[in-house]
Amino acid sequence: MDDQLILVDLNDRPTGAGEKLWTHQNDRLHRAFSVFVVWENKMLLQRRARDKYHSGGLWANACCSHPRVGEDLEQAVSRRLREELGIQNAPAEELFSFVYRTDFGELTEFEYDHVLLARYGGAIAPDPEEIEETRWTDLSELKQDILERPGAYASWFLIAAPKVLDFLET
């Protein structure tokens, strides 16, 4: 966890930088992104690897990460889709952003999260250090599962997914 993350204010203006672990130990607001991948009325979900530093074993959207200092959002999204899932050439459009904070013991996720949507139906190659498993889930089944089993999903996913699903229905 030696990445230098971009610390931001509540308007997503950079205020400095912080090493990834330090940023999460010290409850600092930082820039992040969540990519939702859809294809033919299905959403790609990942179950986070159980040994992740937080939210291990929980289901989430296809890809989540942080831009590094000196890297713009588009570059970071492209890099992480390639690293985590082997996805290349899947342009993502930003839908919205939000700020959230969740405690995980001695670590805190306090993020200005940019939510993006990519439409992609090709092959994937999940990184087993990041992802325990993946699944394509029908959008209507996903809505029902979120209502019935919210504890199976990561905290940021529960905030962002309803808005993404609403966008996809309009």
Residue numbers annotated as active site: 64, 111
**Nearest Cα residue to 115 out of 95, 135, 133, 131:** 95
Task: Collect all residues with Cβ–Cβ distance below 8 Å to 61 and sequence separation of at least 6.
Answer: 34, 35, 36, 37, 43, 44, 45, 46, 157, 160, 161, 164
What is the Cα–Cα distance from 87 to 37, expressed in whole angstroms?
10
